[in-house]
Chain A
Amino acid sequence: MIGHFDPKQYARNTAHDKDLGTPFPVQSLGTALVNLEIDGITISVPEGTSVLRAAALADINIPKLCATDSLEPFGSCRLCAVQVEGRRGMPASCTTPVAEGMKVTTQNERLAKLRRNVMELYISDHPLDCLTCPTNGDCELQDMAGSVGLREVRYGFEGENHLESVKDESNPYFSFDPSKCIVCSRCVRACEEVQGTFALTIDGRGFDSKVSAGQDEAFMDSDCVSCGACVQACPTATLMENSVIDHGVPDRSVVTTCAYCGVGCSFEAQMKGDKLVRMVPYKGGDANHGHSCVKGRFAFGYASHPDRLTTPMIRESIDQPWREASWEEAIGFAASRLKAIQAEHGRESIGGITSSRCTNEETYLVQKLIRAAFGNNNTDTCARVCHSPTGYGLKTTLGESAGTQTFDSVMKSDAIIVIGANPTDAHPVFGSLMRKRLRQGAKLIVADPRYIDLLKTPHLGEAQHLPLRPGTNVALVNALGHVVITEGLEDKAFVTKRCDTEAYQSWREFIADPRHSPEASEAITGVPAEAVRQAARTYATAGNGAIYYGLGVTEHSQGSTMVMGIANLAMATGNIGREGVGVNPLRGQNNVQGSCDMGSFPHELPGYQHVADPIARGRFEAVWGVKLDDEPGLRIPNMFDAAIEGTFKALYVQGEDIAQSDPNTQHVEAALRSLDCLIVQDIFLNETAKFAHVLLPGSSFLEKNGTFTNAERRINRVRKVMPPVAGKQDWEITQDLANALGYPMNYVHPSEIMDEIASLTPSFTGVSYEKLEEYGSLQWPCNAEHPEGMPTMHEFNFPIGLGRFAITEYVATEERTNRRFPLLLTTGRILSQYNVGAQTRRTDNQHWHNEDVLELHPSDAEVRGVRDGDWLGITSRSGQTVLRARLSERMQPGVVYTTFHHPGSGANVITTDNSDWATNCPEYKVTAVQVERVSQPSAWQQRFNAFDQAQRGYLAKAQQEAP
């Protein structure tokens, strides 16, 4: 009987903790099964499966060293040799594909002798220090020596060997000990196949072969990005985490979700008691499939950093020292302040900010506290300053505020457009997946003012760069749309069937106007017309066209318009509703998607249900037992304006550092100083906390239970691996505050909060902790119609029925260059640091980026007499700051770039109040500036340093005085 391969069934039956030796043969999807016999056992596997993998699936474990199922087979160690009936010799089972009727023997005298001989050669050049070796008990070489029954090494150890090779300890997180290397090339292949960096190579030939980072450089001096894939792949102690060298092999492991970027990688937190020894990317994680980056894999030390807040603190005014308080006293103090302020200034005088780093359950609870206990809708979240235009733009056009695909979808893309995103730095694990697809031949188009690293990926397809001027995205996307329409590249069948005809006709007429032609927009965007035409043709005709975008799209005065422009382009070319295509926002923080889903925005209840919708609101009122306001509340920038004006008096901030991350710092500081009561719940004394009256010590992701939702709408479990440092998980703190305000909350476990979310949110009705345990993760919508979730959206229709094209008129930003401010500043991220850096600055990631610098083009530097490393004063209409110069040809002349990972850099002192017209998302990406050489920090920086020192002193004093 011929069985057909069912990938779903297969995935469920495959244990993730077992290494099957070679990867699943992707090319075999949908093909017939092959039957063979291994050691007398009959097994059916998909075509293309290796004999090694087939055997492992039948629980026959052939010894192996150079093979692992995350890498393509290599056939170098010869340990996995087998015999096949009717064939000569002893082929390596990792490179031998199965064949119908094949009869394989994996164990007999001849094979055993061969394997012992192979091992004997390996061990003759390997130190025999197993008892003091860091991988003792967790070493594949040791296991294999045991498995093949190696008893003696006849060659002795005196011959030529590598035992005296010098260790490379340049990387802060792992060591490279070449004396233990067996040159299996797993690290080299992992760097190439999994990470796509090609930093490692095998240097020399024959006996001299050795693993080398770059051109025989130290790891830290090479191209290595410290993703850990090589450490993960190494079967010996050659590449080893320093934390394991220091603390020994972990004894238990809990699967949880990374708290850094929006990729949402699954990790095994490997523990010794309460001590987290290492984070190992989890093979069963559907977002990352066992890969990781330097942040998630290694930068977890912040959780146990001495700066962690461990006790609640209170004070009357921000010019006073802190005083340690019990939880009860601090919560009581906060509640009485909030009540008094509302009594004096009215119900709408207070509000709160939910965290895009906390769990869904915690975010849900904060907005519930605000809506139900504060009695207003003054709730907002960090997404305001990053992806709120995505919410507006995608909801308007496609009907749902979320990306349309899974990450894996990129493996079916033929043309990939990346706009205003830098995946290799900001979403590294997805960046690696994209690079893998590019190496298979997909075409790449990058629209970005900078020449980002993705363009340097070695790959088969062509790479097109559209180096547009900051602030001209909409002109560019309109030009792309113009080419699609005027050159007849649209997918008429898709548009007719799936989109609103009237809206399409209006858009078609609008976009066909010659003012949108690439030739006409060249003067605006600076991108040669022919390059735009070429890009539009590539995207529209390659087959599957996918668009990925980041904050370079949203953080503009026309962020929302640009998102709609992208959706127009995808609909017009029929690139929606199947794998390999789609519109994909790359989310910045771990739970930005979740915080938006959970009703953090002032106008929307959980599940994007408008507060003015009486039916939706009624359901919440029934469950929450209170009357809810039917008018939207204030957004973050509106809160600041109202605070400065004196009508907004108190703010509860959960896990967000608005004083560092929001634009026009001096304006934010003025707003925070105007508050009568600022309650900050965070794991550190962040910049915002320095303006606070109540400090509530929060918990890191390692200390709590809950869920995060990543950029592909995937709900992943966060599992508690250690007790909260300050005694409470964040949801418990919010619950206590609600109770103190007289609004009862009595959750015992976050699963109960999720049950409430599911009961009120149509796209979550099928979600429960039980189901998450069963499936590992779920992509919403997950409800009666889609009980297993929905990996690809809009396959048959849009949530609004027909897709709606939007008119996207280009309106130039008001932020213009002139003689006083001749350069454009754009801001972004770097691989090793995360967001405001509160976490990564407290880890060894500092070795890569311990200060923010200003990148500028050599020609801009030359006319100003600036040399690399000079101190530069950067002045905008908002303020001035001083950073070190770094000359870089990644920039185009006239554009300068910096990051905002370090608070003292004051990158946001210069960014302005300009914002997206629809959502008030700040225009971080366009600021007109002038730069000049200076000799001292700016006035703001001097004030910042003084304030910072005073505030740290107030905290230290309270901690010393504590009984």
Chain B
Amino acid sequence: MSTNNDANLIHMINQIAANLGGGRDEEAAATATCRHLETFWARPMKHRLVANLELEGVEFSPLARRAATLLATRLLERQSITR
């Protein structure tokens, strides 16, 4: 279920991607955006964001979607390490 909180998270990542996107190539921008989320976002926020990747009709900007996908991979890697 997508809630108001989810909508805020999507809004936030789109805004971050827009600001980190300028003047960089897309891969660098996606990495920077992902790193920003890793550095500043709380655990539940990251997981909620990643869960939204699976949902239909979520308005990720292309760069934000790429960054969120990268974050999903990084979270999985991290989980496998902690285990």
Q: Which residues of A contact B (CB under 8 A)?
A: 348, 377-378, 506, 510, 557-558, 560-561, 602-603, 610, 612, 629, 631-635, 638, 641-642, 644-645, 647, 807-809, 811, 913, 917-920
CB-CB nearest in chain B for A631: B43
Closest 3 CB pairs of A and B: A809-B22, A807-B23, A631-B43
Interchain pairs with CB closer than 8 A, number: 68
Q: Is B79 an interface residue (CB 8 A)?
A: no
Closest-CB distance, A507 to chain B (whole angstroms): 8
Whether the Cβ atoms of B44 and A647 lie closer than 8 Å is: yes
Q: Is B73 an interface residue (CB 8 A)?
A: no
A–B complex contacts, Cβ < 8 Å, 7 sampled? A510-B23, A561-B19, A632-B39, A632-B40, A811-B15, A913-B8, A918-B40
Given A807-B22, A811-B22, decide whether A638 and B40 contact each other with a Cβ distance below 8 A: no
Task: Chain A residues near B15: list those with CB within 8 A.
Answer: 557, 811, 917
Q: Is B16 an interface residue (CB 8 A)?
A: yes
**A632 to B38 Cα, complex, angstroms:** 8
Whether the Cβ atoms of B19 and A558 lie closer than 8 Å is: yes
Closest-CB distance, A849 to chain B (whole angstroms): 35
Given A506-B23, A807-B24, A917-B15, decide whether A644 and B39 contact each other with a Cβ distance below 8 A: no
- 11 additional A-B pairs beyond A635-B42, A811-B18, beta carbons within 8 Å, are A348-B43, A510-B23, A612-B38, A633-B42, A635-B40, A638-B45, A641-B5, A644-B4, A647-B44, A809-B23, A919-B40
Task: Chain B residues near A560: list those with CB within 8 A.
Answer: 19
Whether the Cβ atoms of B18 and A917 lie closer than 8 Å is: yes
**A631 to B36 Cα, complex, angstroms:** 13
- Which of B21, B22, B23, B42 is close to A638, meaning CB atoms less than 8 Å apart? B42
Task: Chain A residues near B36: list those with CB within 8 A.
Answer: 918
For the residues of A in contact with B, the DSSP-based class is loop
Task: Chain A residues near B3: list those with CB within 8 A.
Answer: 645
Closest-CB distance, A566 to chain B (whole angstroms): 16
Whether the Cβ atoms of B18 and A645 lie closer than 8 Å is: no
CB within 8 Å of A: which of B26-81? 36, 38-45
Whether the Cβ atoms of A917 and B16 lie closer than 8 Å is: yes
Whether the Cβ atoms of A603 and B18 lie closer than 8 Å is: no
**A645 to B8 Cα, complex, angstroms:** 12
- Which of B16, B23, B42 is close to A602, meaning CB atoms less than 8 Å apart? B42
Whether the Cβ atoms of A631 and B19 lie closer than 8 Å is: no
- Which of B8, B12, B19, B39 is close to A603, meaning CB atoms less than 8 Å apart? B39
Whether the Cβ atoms of B19 and A644 lie closer than 8 Å is: no
Task: Chain A residues near B41: list those with CB within 8 A.
Answer: 632
Residue from B4, B21, B22 with most neighbouring chain A CB atoms (10 Å): B22
Task: Chain B residues near A913: list those with CB within 8 A.
Answer: 8
Closest-CB distance, A134 to chain B (whole angstroms): 56
- Which of B5, B19, B21, B22 is close to A918, meaning CB atoms less than 8 Å apart? B19
For the residues of B in contact with A, the DSSP-based class is helix
**A506 to B25 Cα, complex, angstroms:** 12
**A560 to B15 Cα, complex, angstroms:** 12
Closest-CB distance, A612 to chain B (whole angstroms): 8
Closest-CB distance, B23 to chain A (whole angstroms): 4
Task: Chain A residues near B44: list those with CB within 8 A.
Answer: 348, 634, 642, 647
CB-CB nearest in chain A for B9: A641
Closest-CB distance, A804 to chain B (whole angstroms): 13
Task: Chain A residues near B43: list those with CB within 8 A.
Answer: 348, 629, 631-632
- Which of A635, A642, A920 is close to B5, meaning CB atoms less than 8 Å apart? A642
- Which of A348, A378, A612, A811 is close to B19, meaning CB atoms less than 8 Å apart? A811
Whether the Cβ atoms of A917 and B19 lie closer than 8 Å is: yes
Residue from A560, A631, A634 with most neighbouring chain B CB atoms (10 Å): A631
Given A645-B3, A807-B24, A811-B19, decide whether A378 and B42 contact each other with a Cβ distance below 8 A: yes
**A647 to B18 Cα, complex, angstroms:** 29
**A917 to B38 Cα, complex, angstroms:** 15
**A811 to B22 Cα, complex, angstroms:** 9
Closest-CB distance, B62 to chain A (whole angstroms): 16
**A650 to B42 Cα, complex, angstroms:** 17
Whether the Cβ atoms of A644 and B5 lie closer than 8 Å is: yes
Task: Chain A residues near B16: list those with CB within 8 A.
Answer: 917-918
**A449 to B5 Cα, complex, angstroms:** 34
Task: Chain B residues near A506: list those with CB within 8 A.
Answer: 23
Task: Chain B residues near A917: list those with CB within 8 A.
Answer: 12, 15-16, 18-19
**A561 to B20 Cα, complex, angstroms:** 10
Task: Chain B residues near A557: list those with CB within 8 A.
Answer: 15
Task: Chain B residues near A920: list those with CB within 8 A.
Answer: 12
Closest-CB distance, A631 to chain B (whole angstroms): 4
Task: Chain B residues near A510: list those with CB within 8 A.
Answer: 23
CB-CB nearest in chain B for A633: B42
**A868 to B60 Cα, complex, angstroms:** 47
**A890 to B24 Cα, complex, angstroms:** 40
**A918 to B13 Cα, complex, angstroms:** 10
**A946 to B43 Cα, complex, angstroms:** 39
Task: Chain B residues near A919: list those with CB within 8 A.
Answer: 40
Whether the Cβ atoms of A634 and B4 lie closer than 8 Å is: no
Whether the Cβ atoms of B42 and A631 lie closer than 8 Å is: yes
Task: Chain A residues near B40: list those with CB within 8 A.
Answer: 603, 632, 635, 918-919
**A641 to B42 Cα, complex, angstroms:** 13
Closest-CB distance, A292 to chain B (whole angstroms): 39
CB-CB nearest in chain A for B43: A631
**A638 to B11 Cα, complex, angstroms:** 13
Closest-CB distance, A914 to chain B (whole angstroms): 9
**A783 to B36 Cα, complex, angstroms:** 30
Task: Chain A residues near B22: list those with CB within 8 A.
Answer: 807-809, 811
Task: Chain B residues near A603: list those with CB within 8 A.
Answer: 39-40
Task: Chain A residues near B24: list those with CB within 8 A.
Answer: 807
Closest-CB distance, B33 to chain A (whole angstroms): 10
Task: Chain B residues near A638: list those with CB within 8 A.
Answer: 42, 45
**A957 to B71 Cα, complex, angstroms:** 53
**A812 to B27 Cα, complex, angstroms:** 23
**A603 to B36 Cα, complex, angstroms:** 11
**A632 to B43 Cα, complex, angstroms:** 7
Closest-CB distance, A602 to chain B (whole angstroms): 7
**A625 to B16 Cα, complex, angstroms:** 37
Closest-CB distance, A131 to chain B (whole angstroms): 67
**A948 to B14 Cα, complex, angstroms:** 39
**A758 to B16 Cα, complex, angstroms:** 35
Whether the Cβ atoms of B42 and A610 lie closer than 8 Å is: no
Task: Chain A residues near B18: list those with CB within 8 A.
Answer: 811, 917
Task: Chain B residues near A811: list those with CB within 8 A.
Answer: 15, 18-19, 22
**A510 to B5 Cα, complex, angstroms:** 35
**A811 to B15 Cα, complex, angstroms:** 9
Closest-CB distance, A407 to chain B (whole angstroms): 31
Closest-CB distance, A36 to chain B (whole angstroms): 63
CB-CB nearest in chain A for B36: A918
Closest-CB distance, B78 to chain A (whole angstroms): 10
**A348 to B44 Cα, complex, angstroms:** 9
**A809 to B29 Cα, complex, angstroms:** 13
**A635 to B40 Cα, complex, angstroms:** 9
CB-CB nearest in chain B for A507: B23
Residue from B5, B16, B21 with most neighbouring chain A CB atoms (10 Å): B5
Task: Chain A residues near B21: list those with CB within 8 A.
Answer: 809
Task: Chain A residues near B19: list those with CB within 8 A.
Answer: 558, 560-561, 809, 811, 917-918
Task: Chain A residues near B12: list those with CB within 8 A.
Answer: 917, 920
**A638 to B22 Cα, complex, angstroms:** 26
**A647 to B48 Cα, complex, angstroms:** 12
**A632 to B45 Cα, complex, angstroms:** 10
Closest-CB distance, A58 to chain B (whole angstroms): 60
Closest-CB distance, B70 to chain A (whole angstroms): 17
Task: Chain A residues near B5: list those with CB within 8 A.
Answer: 641-642, 644-645
Whether the Cβ atoms of B39 and A641 lie closer than 8 Å is: no
- Which of B23, B38, B45 is close to A634, meaning CB atoms less than 8 Å apart? B45
Task: Chain B residues near A378: list those with CB within 8 A.
Answer: 42
Given A561-B19, A809-B19, A917-B18, decide whether A645 and B4 contact each other with a Cβ distance below 8 A: yes
CB-CB nearest in chain A for B24: A807
**A493 to B34 Cα, complex, angstroms:** 35
Whether the Cβ atoms of A641 and B4 lie closer than 8 Å is: yes
